[in-house]
A and B are shown apart, each in its own frame.
Chain A
Amino acid sequence: MSWSWLPISSLVTRSALSKPVTRLYPFERRTPYARTRGHILFKVDNCNFCTICAHKCPTDAIVANKKDKTWAIDYSLCILCGNCVEDCREGCITLSNDPHPPMLAKEIWSVRKDYEAPPPPESPKVVLPGKDSHPS
């Protein structure tokens, strides 16, 4: 009699008697490893808007503007290569271990250094005819 069925039978029996190897995601989550590339974080405080990160980004996910003191990242374009983290001299860009939550739409995180930035241009007031005497 051939015993060739024995390896899989013992494997299946052991699996049936032991705990499942899968997790009940999202209720049960594994702790991410220290090196896991989750998503990009940015701290505006030290940033001098040198725009090196924007130049080094292979997918142009980062857009930085020196004049307006703005920095923005499009998470749907970011490939988590880590080039910006390595090249940021001020240490403003870091990688979080937690994966970015699923996006329902294109998500752009925009940061503006307000206290140094020039005031935003005032939008012209629109005066509708007949509304001048509206009590304020």
Chain B
Amino acid sequence: MSNTTIVPFGPQHPVLPEPIHLDLELDDERVVQALPSIGYVHRGLELLAERHDFIEMANVAERICGICSFIHGQGYCQGIEQLMGVEVPPRAVYLRTIWGEISRIQSHLLWLGLSADALGYESLFQHSWRIREMLVDIIEETTGGRVIFGVCKVGGIRKNVDDEVLKAVKGRMRDIQAAFNEIADVFREDPTVKKRTVGVGVLTAEDAHILGAVGPVLRGSGVPQDTRKLGYAAFGELDWEPVVEQEGDCYARCIVRVREIDQSFDIIAQCLDRMPAGEVEVSVKGKRPKGEAMFRLEQPRGEVCYYISADGKKNLERFRVRTPTFANIAPLVHMLKGCELADVPVIVLTIDPCVSCNER
């Protein structure tokens, strides 16, 4: 007879305010296995795409997730543009790249703050969010929204951003990077952070590859795979390399995110330097998407896959999204095996779960 106990973890606020439920089978304080269950916040957004006009759906696609909202909108619009054979003007492509990277930085800063909070490091949590607030202000100034950007549309972007505003943004970005470097040193060196994360939840490169991990979880295990290398938007013209850490533990995943923030600042600076002039949208009036397309984008949490099928009507035939959290749940269950109960929240947090994104 086994002496294991089942402890329910979640769905109400397990570390993050995200409704994921884990049944932890414990032998004393050690996790024998974890059984995840999801499906608490399903909204049926994919079905909605089959009933709405494909132009209006760009608004709905952005609402799949509150943190990576822009990249969902960008992915949806890119897919429709690919089906219709529309070439987006280069200025719109560069602006999309900048907003995508800003949303990556703010998502990682949000995660760093929450991870500091989970470690019991309240002051670091507040400082991370203080810096994130400066970025959210830039988002509001350039797009008009703080969480839902609402700028991406099929054929380009809604409103151009003046060169003076972009110049001011460049200066402010430098200040934000300087402020971020101060807290980055804390994440890198502080003994409180290290004690809770080094050697915890190790995922080897082989396991990460077999279990289909994506994003910082995969790169934290030493696999240099980043979907941005496919060269969508302006990434093909920019100079950058994927961030990789070899250890595969919680600390490595944290450091991947810290280094990715630095890299994103660099990508934004490159985009601002090379910003082309000209129009920001092309008219798609009278055109309808036809055929099917499957493509991948890199979200802050990892690779997201979109499948769009259209038959030349106003509505899409099928719209399917596979979000990074879904791909990272199998590696999470693997990482939880054999860990201490007290380490479970930290390990769950390091995959950066976004359950509402996952269930759409």
Which A residues are within 8 Å of any B CB, using their own CB? 2, 4-5, 7-8, 10-12, 15, 21, 33, 35-37, 56, 58, 79-83, 86, 95
Contact = CB atoms under 8 A, between A and B. Distances in A.
Contacts of B143: 35
A4 B144 CA distance: 40
B182 interface: yes
Nearest to B187: A7
Interface string B123-150: 1100100100100000011111100101
Interface centre among A15, A33, A80 (most CB of B within 10 A): A33
Contacts of B59: 58, 79, 81, 83
A33 B185 contact: no
Interface of B: 52, 56, 59-60, 123-124, 127, 130, 133, 140-145, 148, 150, 158-159, 182-183, 185-186, 189-191
19 contacts: A4-B189, A5-B191, A7-B182, A7-B185, A10-B182, A11-B123, A11-B127, A12-B123, A15-B127, A21-B130, A33-B140, A35-B143, A36-B140, A37-B144, A81-B59, A82-B150, A82-B158, A83-B59, A86-B158
A81 B55 CA distance: 12
Contacts of A7: 182-183, 185-186, 189-190
B191 A4 contact: yes
Contacts of B141: 33, 35
Nearest to A57: B56
Contacts of A58: 52, 56, 59-60
B145 A37 contact: yes
Contacts of B133: 21
Nearest to B137: A33
Interface centre among B123, B145, B183 (most CB of A within 10 A): B145
Contacts of B124: 8
A81 B150 contact: yes
A93 B123 CA distance: 45
B150 A8 contact: no
A16 to B, nearest CB: 10
Nearest to B121: A8
Nearest to A3: B189
B193 to A, nearest CB: 9
Contacts of B182: 7, 10-11
Contacts of B145: 37, 80
A86 B150 CA distance: 13
Given A5-B191, A37-B144, 15 more contacts: A4-B189, A4-B191, A7-B182, A7-B185, A7-B190, A8-B123, A15-B127, A21-B130, A33-B144, A37-B145, A56-B56, A58-B52, A58-B60, A83-B56, A86-B158
A56 B52 CA distance: 11
A62 B13 CA distance: 36
B52 A11 contact: no
Contacts of B127: 11, 15
